[in-house]
Amino acid sequence: MSDQLAPTTTKSAAAPFRIPSPSEVAPFAPDPAVLESNHIVGFNSRHLSSRPFSLLRSQLVKRMRSRGHKIVGVTSPAPGAGKSFLAANLAATLSRLPNYQVHVFDLDVRRASLAANYGLMGEVGLERFLSGETNDLAKVARHVEGTNLMLYPCFANDYDTMPLLASDRFAQFIASLRTLPEDHLVLFDMPPVFANDDAMVVAAQIDAYLMIIEQGRNSQRQVTDSMRLLDPAECIGSVLNRYDGGVGDPYGYSYGAYGKYTDYFSKND
Ligand SMILES: Nc1ncnc2c1ncn2[C@@H]1O[C@H](COP(=O)(O)OP(=O)(O)O)[C@@H](O)[C@H]1O
Ligand SMILES: [Mg+2]
């Protein structure tokens, strides 16, 4: 990343944006059939496939709490690894915790899929806030009815993302998120590392990231190179997606200590 692209640090940034509360934004009731067809199972604790997300949730919350983290990103070396699938499910499963407010932001603006995964339609997406067309995050957010989850989807993907992410405005957005009380958790669906500089720019502003590794497609080299590029951001955990190594989940994911890449980067509690 060139110096020009180095983001303004959030330490020095003002926090001018109000993060809305659920009562201030449009409610949204996802269609169960849409969720099911996109494999978003995290709202349903009895769904066989939601168990790994519940376990991941417990680990993640424990680590975030013990390290004082507020903003965690989900990324991967290349597109298609399952970042959005995981972020959407993790958000859903986190929203079942009664004591937390969860905010999930779609920051993979060029490949945005949070809206499609939840079956959400609209006009004012997060890209319009990031570009300065609106300062009102209440216009962007949707509150998932009956849950503690706020969604911030993107709808248009034809924006040049680097000026959006490497801007003072983005640093101010992060600083505004940091003013949220302790019981708020923020999840970013991030761009993939090898696509361009976007992931590095975002990683420089957040507390930690989860690395999604696609079984059979991402080599160890790609994973270690990705982590080097995101350095010094902290890798808080890893998920081996489409894992066929026998952990026994129908959708095939594994994480943390079960993943075969664990030795390379997992952190101990
Ligand atoms: N473990 C999984 N089980 C079922 N479908 C999956 C799984 N992981 C990813 N997918 C699907 O694969 C496609 C690509 O995943 P996605 O999360 O959009 O990738 P990324 O956000 O990393 O580019 C999506 O249609 C997603 O629903
Ligand atoms: Mg995605």
109-168 tens-digit pLDDT: 999 999 999 999 999 999 999 999 999 999 999 999 999 999 999 999 899 999 999 999
Any idea where the domains of the chain sit in the sequence? Answer: 3-265
For residues 251 and 187, which has the higher predicted lDDT (pLDDT)? 187
CA distance 187 to 190: 9
The SS3 of residue 152 is strand
Which residues lie closer than 8 Å to 201 by C-beta, 6 or more apart? 1, 5, 7, 162, 165, 166
Which residues lie closer than 8 Å to 109 by C-beta, 6 or more apart? 126, 127, 130, 154, 157, 159, 161, 164, 191
For residues 106 and 256, which has the higher predicted lDDT (pLDDT)? 106
pLDDT above 70 covers what percent of the chain?
86
CB 17, CB 180: distance < 8 Å: no
pTM (2 d.p.): 0.91
Pocket perturbation via mutation, ligand 1, pick of 39, 74, 85 by most ligand atoms within 8 A of CB: 85
Token duo for residue 169: 């405005």
Strand partners, 75: 211
38 lines ligand 1 (CB under 6 A): yes
In the 3-class helix/strand/coil scheme, how is 174-220 assigned residue by residue? HHHHCCCCCCEEEEEECCCCCCCCHHHHHHCCCCEEEEEEECCCCCH
Reported as a pLDDT band with limits 50, 70 and 90, residue 245 is: low
pLDDT value, residue 262: 37
DSSP state of 104: E
What would the mean pLDDT of 82-92 be, rounded to a whole number? Answer: 95
Buried residues in 68-98 as b, exposed as e (16+ CB within 10 A):
ebbbbbbbbbeeebbbbbbbbbbbbbbbbbe
Which residues lie closer than 8 Å to 147 by C-beta, 6 or more apart? 43, 92, 95, 96
Of 80-84, 144-148, 246-250, the one with minimum mean pLDDT is 246-250
- Please give the C-alpha separations between residue 214 and each of 89, 179, 222, in angstroms, as whole numbers: 17, 34, 11
Which ligand gives the minimal distance to the CA of 40? Answer: 1
Name the average pLDDT for the chain. 87
pLDDT value, residue 47: 85
Judge: domain 3-265, CATH 3.40.50.300: yes
Whether 19 shows a pLDDT value over 80: the answer reads yes
Side-chain half-sphere CA neighbours of 65 within 13 A: 9
115 lines ligand 1 (CB under 6 A): no
Whether 269 shows a pLDDT value over 70: the answer reads no
Reported as a pLDDT band with limits 50, 70 and 90, residue 240 is: confident
Residue nearest to atom 26 of ligand 1 (CA): 85
pLDDT value, residue 52: 85
Report the atom number in ligand 1 closest to the C-alpha of 212.
22
